[in-house]
Structure 1
Amino acid sequence: MKIVGIRAFGGPEALEVLDVPEPHAGPGEVRIRVRAAAVSPTDTVLRSGAQDMGGQEPPYIPGMDAAGVVDEVGDDAGWRIGDEVMALALPRAARRGAYAEYLVAPSDSIARIPAGIGLEASATLPMNGLTAVQTLEKLDLAEGSVLAITGAAGTLGNYLIQLAKEAGLTVVADAAEQDADLVAALGADHVVERGDDVAERIRELFPDGVDAVADAAVMNELAAGAVRDGGGFATVRGWDGDPGRGITVHPIRVGEEYSSGAKLDRLRALAEADLLSPRIADVLPAERAAEAHRRLEAGGLRGRIVLTF
């Protein structure tokens, strides 16, 4: 099968179109003929060599988001050939990543795609959607609580805003001037200017601090100052700092959601109800993966670039 793989870590040029043996579905698994794979910052981190691959041999296959059509079903898998599904992939695990023509996945790790949005848009939902779900679960905020979100104009930030509003939270979101209208349209109750002083800007609105921060922008200590004493701070890149003041730091690890097909199906339902808004920046053939990585690393994208196979 065709993959976009990495034989040696490096810049975008390290991504190569390669041929490798096809995988096959075992008991309790399905094989997905991947049609779309979203490109995310996590993929660029892997490509650069900044992730421990756990002894896995190259070629490494990036990609944590896939959407496609079930074309092979193992015993007791419970799916049918022809089902259109979306899946979370784990590039560092045995089944590897989503930049591939075929992806084998446990039957409980996938969900049907939302009706009416297509495979490309559906491919933007699994990783960031499940990351947002886990963030809100770990912060465990009561209805009416105040949540601040950094990186609100990005894909994870978008989903956090919409899921937080669906949960009855008050949302403070950061945004550059050109993104303020977008962030407000997603449902943020308050929009503050992004930047290293974001905690001060949030404190101007809530002098005692907010109940929690979801730090999608990976600002770490610069954002933690916005949290009230005894509040919560969700970190998506494993920050091990201690903000003090009784604040609980919650590491968010989307790999823990690999078998969260039921949660992924809830995201499907929310997207069908127009309560969750997948956004695509561009659609490129898989052979242009290096271009997709260059554009992502240059910054400024709103929505995901999606590779098609």
Structure 2
Amino acid sequence: MRAIRYAEFGGPEVLQVAAGLPVPEPGPGQVRVRVAASVLHPVDLMIRAGRFPAPLPTGLPYIPGWDVAGTVDAVGPSVTDLAVDDEVIGFTPWLQTTNGAHAEFVVLDATWLTAAPTGIPATQAATLPTNGLTAVQALDLLALPAGSSLLVTGGAGQVGGFLLALARNAGLHATAVAGAGDRKFVESLGATFVPRSEEPQGSFDAVVDLAVIGSSLLDVVRDGGGFVAASPPLRPEPVRGIRTHALGVQPNGSRLSDLVKLVESGDIPLRVAGVYPFTEAAAAHIRLAEGGVRGGVVIVP
């Protein structure tokens, strides 16, 4: 098996294409997926650079990668809902497993997967699992009724775009803070656009702070409203009855299936910023680190 791997922390130059690795075997409740596409995330860059602030469950070397779009290659005992040759998408919770998807094969729990969207290329479908589930789980935390107002910072990023699409589908009135060049995209999802150079005005039922503006945004949340921070260390202390939460995405094949239906109906757009083969993994890391990416940075074997 071939995979992107690194045996030391550092810059993109530490990435290697390793060959001759053992093909992983699925255990009970697991399936092996032949990977067609995966996606690079900012956390992958942080871990590779040795800057992740918490211990990881295993040591180097690491195969990075969370999302997967591909085909079931083998099934373990007690798996009944998936079969060999099924086209699937899902993600591995890498921080818990260090079981990376930037490989020709990856083993995942069957419950983490769902059928891939029909008629959608794997390079697009792979952009959905981690970021789409992050967005839907943010809205689950807030539990906003239809008609509520929602402010999303970083509204044109990968998670932000999914959030705006899901907010529209849920009947929420979304406002998005984004770059000046993102107005058309934000408004195409039915949201009100606020440029990053301006502070949002008014009072909102909830805020999802993907751009890490911080606790100052509590000032625009109504009493008793909701606030979702981008990660647990950034979760502010509650004030004025505001419920504060933090993102911490978990795989969920059932909820991912709901997102697939919205993709197939055209309610959720999938965006790809670039596609890189294993041999250009370093270039993919450099591109993502440059910032301003609008769409998934996709890795293919």
Taking structure 2 as the reference length, the TM-score comes to 0.94
1:58 to 57, 60, 65: 60
SS at 1:35's partner residue? strand
Q: Deviations over 1:119-157 (max 9, x none)?
A: 110100000000011100001111100000011111100
Partner Cα separation in structure 1 for residue 184 and residue 92 of structure 2: 33
| Distance in structure 2 (CA, Å) of the matches to 1:218 and 1:289 | 27
| Residue of structure 1 equivalent to 2:114 | 111
Structure 2 partner of 1:5 = 5
Task: Tell me what 1:29 maps to.
Answer: 30
Q: Look up the match of 1:250.
A: 245
Paired residue secondary structure (1:76): coil
- The reply to whether residue 224 of structure 1 matches residue 218 of structure 2 is yes
Distance 1:218 1:251 in 2: 11
Identity over aligned pairs, percent: 41
CA deviations 1:40-72 (Å, max 9, x no partner) are 112112212232343412111221111111111
Alignment of 1:182-197 (within 5 A): 182-188=185-191, 190-195=192-197
* 1-structure distance, mates of 2:148, 2:105: 43
CA distance in 2, matches of 1:224, 1:287: 45
- Which residue number corresponds to residue 208 of structure 2? 214
Distance 1:180 1:243, change over 3 A: farther
Q: Quote the residue 1:150 is aligned against.
A: 153
What TM-score comes out, normalization by structure 1 length? 0.92
Secondary structure of the equivalent of 1:92? helix
Contact in 1 for aligned 2:64/2:98 (Cα 8 Å): no
1:1-309 matches, within 5 Å, as 1-19=1-19, 20-51=21-52, 52-78=54-80, 79-94=82-97, 96-188=99-191, 190-195=192-197, 198=199, 202-203=200-201, 206=202, 209-238=203-232, 239-242=234-237, 244-254=239-249, 257-258=250-251, 260-309=252-301
Q: CA RMSD in A?
A: 1.5
Task: Tell me which moved more, 13-22 or 24-33.
Answer: 13-22
Look up the SS of the partner of 1:93 in the other structure.
helix
Is this contact kept in 1: 2:168–2:189, CA < 8 A? no
CA distance in structure 2 between the partners assigned to 1:136 and 1:103 by the alignment: 29
The answer to whether the 8 A contact 1:36-1:119 is kept is: yes
- Work out the CA distance in 2 between the residues paired with 1:223 and 1:99: 37
- When structure 1 is superposed on structure 2, of 210-219 and 164-173 the one drifting more is 210-219
Name the count of aligned residue pairs. Answer: 297
Residues 24 and 107, structure 2, Cα contact 8 Å, conserved in 1: yes
Q: Residue type of the partner of 2:43? A: T
Describe the shift of the 1:95–1:110 C-alpha distance in structure 2 as closer, same or farther (beyond 3 A).
farther
* Structure 2 residues without counterparts, runs of 5 or longer: none
For 1:17, the aligned partner's letter is V
1:302 CA displacement? 0.9
Could you tell me how far apart the structure 1 residues matched to 2:97 and 2:160 are? 29
CA distance in 1, matches of 2:127, 2:104: 17
Q: 1:276 to 1:37 in 2, by over 3 A?
A: same
